[in-house]
Structure 1
């Protein structure tokens, strides 16, 4: 089984992202920053947050679903806010999506929030609502269940330092995984955590028996050349005590986002 985690950057590098996802077609794709604007016929809309202006793929959920026709899409919105078509506001959902190959029966799942709750009338004040999703699938090749949880950790404008909110977030995140996992499962935690390698979040998960594969494998960054700011880590993948990776990769080429894809093979 191949599991990929990727912050899609709202599909900003869509011309590279689409063929990459289609060609790689992982068994389970955990995708963050997924946009869904069902009322808009546009391919692109604009996100505006003060001086932060960014092109967004208007219906990234639909587009990735089309690129992966053999997968079941599971969308977990964190908020409904406004994107822009010129000067016209467009209501848009934003959150996570998990794509599971149809050969893998989904035998359990839970959707919840690791920070705040669903925002229906705007993206909200920073740090904004963040959703999490855990899914349990059965893999006949492994003859065992595989439980996977992803999140997009809260973004604090002050930085990626430890905060009480991030401590709560880590516990809620692990709680989502434990809500679906059964004894004997392979277990995986992944996503854009928005924390540094020495964070309390990762220390907590290590104390709970999870091995972190990014810095643990000597990978120097999870960011691409499209991310010019300091701080070279945001994305992580961890495996539980009874889970032995066959391979793990931080994909540097091609660049499909300002984040690198993380790919785990079990």
Structure 2
């Protein structure tokens, strides 16, 4: 079984991402920065904030369904906010999604906010609301709980530890514990927006003590599309008993400014 985790960068590399996902064809896809505009007026819209004008793929749920047509999608919106089509404001939903290959027995799920609440009237000031999603997947080899989140962006604190980040880690752990049964293994992943050695990783390590990015000696999870010097943001944490057949951080092809994390289970 293969689990892929990726921050999709608002779909800015849509063509490359769609082609690669169809080839990768993961059993489980945990994907962050998903944009959904029902009845979008155009395939691309603009996100405008702090003088930036960033292109966003308008309906990534439809794009994901086209790339992985044999998967079911759970979308976890964190906020509803404005994008732009020229001078016209268009309301969008923004959050994360989990795709599971159709037919895999998902016996339990927990979805909720790891920070804030649903922002129905705009994205709000940073640090903005964030969701998490956990599911329990039955397998003959033993059930596994898979969870992911998109960690807080904090322009003031950068990637340093903060009380809000500690609280979000506790809430994500709570989602895992809400679906975990005795004997289940655990995989926790996502763009945590923290540094190696952070309090977030320490807190989650009680459920999943192996962090595979650093354990594998990978130099980071950012690629050439990300200009800043800090190279770590994304993590894959697993419990000691989870049988890992392989793990990689893919720097090529570039399908986002984050590298996909690909975990293969025995």
Q: Is the 8 A contact 2:104 2:137 kept in 1?
A: yes
- Residue in structure 1 matched with residue 261 of structure 2 by the alignment: 262
Deviation at 1:42, TM superposition (A): 1.1
Following TM superposition, by how much is the alpha carbon of 1:23 offset from its aligned partner in structure 2, in angstroms?
0.8
State the match for 1:44 in structure 2.
Answer: 44
3-state SS of paired residue (1:39): coil
Matched, 1:156 2:172: no
Shift of the alpha carbon at 1:251?
Answer: 0.7
Q: Given that residues 147 and 187 in structure 2 are in contact (C-alpha distance below 8 angstroms), is that contact kept between their aligned partners in structure 1?
A: yes
* TM-score normalised by L of structure 2: 0.97
Counterpart for residue 229 of structure 1: 228
Is the Cα–Cα contact under 8 Å of residues 6 and 260 in structure 1 kept in the other structure?
yes
Alpha-carbon distance in structure 2 between the residues aligned to 1:264 and 1:178: 22
Q: Is the 8 A contact 1:184 1:242 kept in 2?
A: no
> Aligned partners of 2:132, 2:113: CA distance in 1, in Å?
5
Q: Does 1:177 find its partner at 2:176?
A: yes
Structure 2 stretches lacking a partner, 5+ long: none
Q: Is 1:45–1:85's contact at 8 Å kept on the other side of the alignment? A: yes
Number of the residue aligned with 2:92: 92
Partner Cα separation in structure 1 for residue 21 and residue 123 of structure 2: 27
Q: Which runs of 4+ in 1 moved over 4 A?
A: none
- How many Å apart are 1:263 and its aligned residue? 0.5
Alpha-carbon distance change, 209 to 82 in structure 1, aligned in 2, over 3 angstroms: closer
Aligned-pair CA distance for 1:208: 4.5
SS at match of 1:231: coil
Measured in 2, the distance between the counterparts of 1:99 and 1:187 equals: 17
The Cα shift of 1:139 comes to 2.3
Judged with a 3 Å threshold, the aligned counterparts in structure 2 of structure 1 residues 52 and 186 are, in CA distance, closer, same or farther, namely same
Give how far 1:242 is off: 1.9
Query: Corresponding residue for 2:167?
Result: 168
Q: Give the whole-Å Cα distance in 1 for the aligned partners of 2:229 and 2:264.
A: 30
Answer yes or no: is 1:72 the counterpart of 2:55: no
Following the alignment from structure 2 to structure 1, what is the Cα–Cα distance between the partners of residues 85 and 196? 38
Matched, 1:107 2:107: yes
Return the TM-score normalized by structure 1: 0.97
Partners of 1:71 and 1:218 lie apart in 2 by 32
For 2:80 and 2:49, how far apart are their aligned partners in 1?
14
Residue by residue over 1:104-126, the C-alpha shift from the partner in whole angstroms, topping out at 9 and shown as x without a partner, is 11111010011111111100110
Conserved in 1, the CA contact under 8 Å of 2:80 and 2:120?
A: yes
Q: Which segments of 5 or more consecutive residues in structure 1 lack a partner in the other structure?
A: none
Distance apart, 1:202 and its partner CA:
1.0
Counterpart in 2 of 1:241? 240
Question: Residue 26 of structure 1 aligns to a residue in which SS?
Answer: coil
Secondary structure, aligned partner of 2:205: helix
CA contact (8 A) 1:2 1:26 kept: yes
What's the secondary structure of 1:246's corresponding residue?
A: strand
Deviation, structure 1 residue 61? 1.1
Offset from partner CA, 1:11-63 (integer Å, 9 cap, x none): 10111100000111100000000000003131100001112221100001111
Structure-to-structure mapping, 1:128-139, within 5 angstroms: 128-139=128-139
Instruction: Give the Cα–Cα distance (whole angstroms) in 2 for the partners of residues 74 and 154 of structure 1.
Output: 21
Change (3 A) 1:245 1:46: same
Q: Which residue of structure 2 aligns with residue 35 of structure 1? A: 35
